[in-house]
């Protein structure tokens, strides 16, 4: 297929070719992969600025998306690539074969750097989904940081740079520029831009940006960052967000309130115990969905309110394909027991979905939230259970609401149990979205 770039794509390609350090905050569907590959092709075969590129990406994106894009476009036909996923012997074989681009999943970057004994040979690094390196304490961050000085070019790609607030940006930009813009130490970053938020005496649980900090941070990173929203550059379908409220019975609501108050609930089938606030949060989310794990990991059934609402939504779709996002394993098991569903977790299932061969599909946001193109298979997404992660939430929605969606409207349903933690999660997602929207607006490319 012949690639005819949009104006914004041409701008981004030239930016990557010109700058040695870049962060592309491109809205889902704007073509981050083909933009990056086009720049890589030019840097390798035209300007000879780069010899070998390492792409680090989520597993399914590394395995499927990058290869598909290279094969798809005529102008990339000269690029040689190897995909280093799978068993250790398969990874070693791929990394030893000559290629312009080696693609590895992020879970194996620590293995590559610290355990494989394969000499570092790449002079350009592409971090697909930069936001997955937001923790400066993670093994994957430490592994990449240890070899950062060995590459002369680095590109960070993401659509959600600050899914949980501005604190995320520290590690992401440290990987890009070595700490030049936001500093090398998290403590100094906190002191410069944040003040304590939730605390108990001297113990600080969270921080919030001080007055004016957001603008200062955006100004610091502006010179290496391009940000674009799909609605500014593409004729996107309308997205309709719908909240479907279900109500627990008096008995069920009493059980919910008891667990919330006492962190313990006795039911006929056993006991539900939350050992701390974090565990309680998870238990309340489960109960709102209709079932809870006990201390022995046994599933205790509470109600079917969300399953009934899901049945109504599937029926209302009137034969159109429906994609269901679930969070807990028992959510999936209960959905599968009631409906004839297919989990989108293999290349074959994804292909069948996009060929409209699967009427009802399910995905887990953590495993299918990034990089997958699912827009050909349907335009209705139902959130059976919600996630606190804005990144996973937005990325999952973008599997359908993206360039190439043929429907005029993408409908995103959220099944929310009234009077439960579901309502707080929806509020949190809206508030986080405002912070992220402010960042994107601040560094939006002026072409």
Residues 320 and 213 in one domain: no
- State the pLDDT at residue 305: 92
Q: What is the pLDDT of residues 345-384, one digit of tens each?
A: 888 888 898 898 999 999 998 876 555 778 888 889 999 9
Whether residue 378 is found in the same domain as residue 348: yes
Instruction: Assess whether pLDDT exceeds 60 at residue 26.
Output: yes
CATH number at residue 288: 3.40.50.300
Do 246 and 191 have their domain in common? no
**186, 210, 230 - which closes a domain:** 230
Question: Among residues 200, 230, 260, which one ends one of the domains?
Answer: 230
The answer to whether residues 257 and 220 belong to one domain is no
Q: Is residue 2 part of a domain?
A: no
| SS3 call for 115 | coil
Residue 230 is predicted with a pLDDT of 60
Residue 266 neighbours by CB distance under 10 Å? 13
Of 230, 255, 287, the position where a domain reaches its end is: 230
Is 436 part of a structural domain of the chain? no
CA 156 to each of CA 96, 177, 291: distance values in angstroms, whole numbers, following the listed order: 25, 11, 39
DSSP, res 168: G
Evaluated on CA atoms 315, 317, 320, 325, the torsion sign reads negative
pLDDT at 443 over 60: no
Look at the block and give the residue holding tokens 């041409």.
10
Q: How does pLDDT run across 290-346, given as a tens digit for each residue?
A: 999 887 788 889 999 999 899 988 887 878 899 999 999 999 999 999 999 999 988
Is residue 439 a part of any domain in this protein?
no
435, part of any domain: no
DSSP letters along 61-96, please? IIIIIHHHHHHH-GGGTT--EEEE-SSHHHHHHHHH
* Residue 389 domain boundaries: 238-427
Residue 245: which pLDDT band, with cuts at 50, 70 and 90? confident
Residue 231 pLDDT exceeds 70: no
Q: How many structural domains comprise the chain?
A: 2
Q: What is the pTM of this model?
A: 0.62
Are 245 and 216 part of one and the same domain? no
CATH of the domain at 74: 3.40.50.10810
Instruction: Please indicate, yes or no, if residue 198 is contained in any of the structural domains.
Output: yes
263 and 136 in a common domain:
no
């Amino acid at each position: 297929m012949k690639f005819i770039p949009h104006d914004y794509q041409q701008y981004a390609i030239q930016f990557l070719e010109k700058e040695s350090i870049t962060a592309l905050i491109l809205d889902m569907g704007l073509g981050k992969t083909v933009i990056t590959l086009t720049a890589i092709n030019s840097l390798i075969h035209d300007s000879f600025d780069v010899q070998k590129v390492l792409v680090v990406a989520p597993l399914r994106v590394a395995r499927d998306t990058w290869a598909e894009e290279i094969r798809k476009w005529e102008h990339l036909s000269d690029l040689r690539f190897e995909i280093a996923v799978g068993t250790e012997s398969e990874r070693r074989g791929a990394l030893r074969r000559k290629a312009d681009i080696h693609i590895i999943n992020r879970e194996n970057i620590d293995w590559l750097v610290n355990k494989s004994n394969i000499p570092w040979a790449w002079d350009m690094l592409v971090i697909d989904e930069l936001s997955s390196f937001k923790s400066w304490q993670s093994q994957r961050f430490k592994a990449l940081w240890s070899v950062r000085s060995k590459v002369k070019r680095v590109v960070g790609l993401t659509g959600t740079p600050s899914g949980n607030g501005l604190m995320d940006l520290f590690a992401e930009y440290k990987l890009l520029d070595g700490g030049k813009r936001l500093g090398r130490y998290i403590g100094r970053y906190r002191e410069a831009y944040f003040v304590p938020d939730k605390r108990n005496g001297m113990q600080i649980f969270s921080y919030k940006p001080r007055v004016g900090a957001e603008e200062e941070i955006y100004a610091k990173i502006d010179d290496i960052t391009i940000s674009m929203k799909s609605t500014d550059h593409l004729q996107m379908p309308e997205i309709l967000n719908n909240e479907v409220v279900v109500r627990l019975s008096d008995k069920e609501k009493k059980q919910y309130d008891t667990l919330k108050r006492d962190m313990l609930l006795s039911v006929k089938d056993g006991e539900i115990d939350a050992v701390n606030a974090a565990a309680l949060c998870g238990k309340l989310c489960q109960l709102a969905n209709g079932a809870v794990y006990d201390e022995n990991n046994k599933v205790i059934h509470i109600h079917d309110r969300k399953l009934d609402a899901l049945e109504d939504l599937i029926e209302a779709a009137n034969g159109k394909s429906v994609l269901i996002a679930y969070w807990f394993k028992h959510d999936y098991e209960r959905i599968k027991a009631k409906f004839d569903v297919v989990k989108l977790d293999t290349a074959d299932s994804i292909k069948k979905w996009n060929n409209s061969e699967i009427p009802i599909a399910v995905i887990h946001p953590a495993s299918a939230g990034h990089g997958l193109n699912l827009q050909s298979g349907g335009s209705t997404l139902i959130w059976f259970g919600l996630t606190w992660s804005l990144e996973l939430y937005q990325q999952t929605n973008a599997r359908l609401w993206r360039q190439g969606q043929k429907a005029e409207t993408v409908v995103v349903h959220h099944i929310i149990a009234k009077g439960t933690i579901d309502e707080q999660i929806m509020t949190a997602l809206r508030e986080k979205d405002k912070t992220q929207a402010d960042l994107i607006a601040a560094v939006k490319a002026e072409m």
